[in-house]
Amino acid sequence: MSLVVLDTDAASALLRRRDTTRLTSLLAGHIVAVTFVTVGEMTKWTLVRHWGSDRRENLQRLLDSFVTLPYDSTVAVRWGQIQAAAQLRGRPRPVNDSWVAACCLARDLPLITLNTKDYIDFAEHDGLNLLRT
């Protein structure tokens, strides 16, 4: 089984059980991962949106079912490279999307996203393997 990475929006769709037929079919037969960024973003939501204990527990169960890709120096260097390249192209990219892309690029892992536009530059210029829903 190979590892595939979900961005935050794709992980959120699974949590909300929002039209996940195509997403679920992409995940079949794979080990599913998220990045440390997705864990942080989703945790932030629970606090900012004042989630109750049931919703927080549902999120924790979902996150526990994934492999979490950590930060390391290889990811940090790759992040610096793709951020610099985007800036030099005149198209700076959002910080968190860049961290997610860097995690995938550093480990040569495909990314599943519901927001192709957020990652298309990384696919076109940096070789990110996007699996589109």
Residue-wise pLDDT for 64-93, tens only, equals 999 999 999 999 999 999 999 999 999 999
pLDDT at 38 over 90: yes
Q: What is the pTM of this model?
A: 0.93
pLDDT in the model for residue 19? 67
- Yes or no: domain 2-132 corresponds to CATH 3.40.50.1010: yes
Which residue pairs, CB below 8 angstroms and at least 24 apart, start in 13-18? 13/114, 14/62, 15/42, 15/58, 15/59, 15/62
Residue 35's DSSP bridge partners are 69
pLDDT in the model for residue 16? 87
- The pair of three-digit structure tokens given for residue 44, joined into one six-digit string: 């932030």
